Structure 1
């Protein structure tokens, strides 16, 4: 099954998945962990254990970046 995946605010790619792939499998195929991104179909979140049943999916990253850039190099905050 071919699925077009748009990572919201980033890139869009296509993935070829087995017919029994879940949305968690799709999130992993896109390079993310299921705890750091949610799959959206027609704007609504879908459970990770549901079998992929859409041709177009949006991934919404829930976790991005970190605090390392916001801490001054001298350790003061």
Structure 2
């Protein structure tokens, strides 16, 4: 499944994930962890263990830098 991930204020990624992928897997595919970012579907946050069920998401980084 191909998903477009817009990381807010950064880049947009086209990611290929397995059919049974979760939103946590999607974050991992763009190089982020569930502790530093949240996935938004239609403007609403979704749980990391929910299966991916859309082809476009926004990723909001909660932590940046070190």
TM-score (ref. length: structure 2): 0.97
Runs of 5+ consecutive residues of structure 2 not aligned to the other structure: none
The equivalent residue for 1:73 is: none
The equivalent residue for 1:62 is: 62
Q: Over aligned residues, Cα RMSD in angstroms?
A: 0.6
The equivalent residue for 1:9 is: 9
Larger CA Rg, structure 1 vs 2:
1
Runs of 5+ consecutive residues of structure 1 not aligned to the other structure: 67-77
1:23-54 Cα offsets, whole Å, 9 max, x none, are: 00000000011110000001000000000001
d(CA) in 1 for partners of 2:36 and 2:50?
17
1:7-37 Cα offsets, whole Å, 9 max, x none, are: 0001001001000000000000000111100
Q: Which has the higher strand share?
A: 2
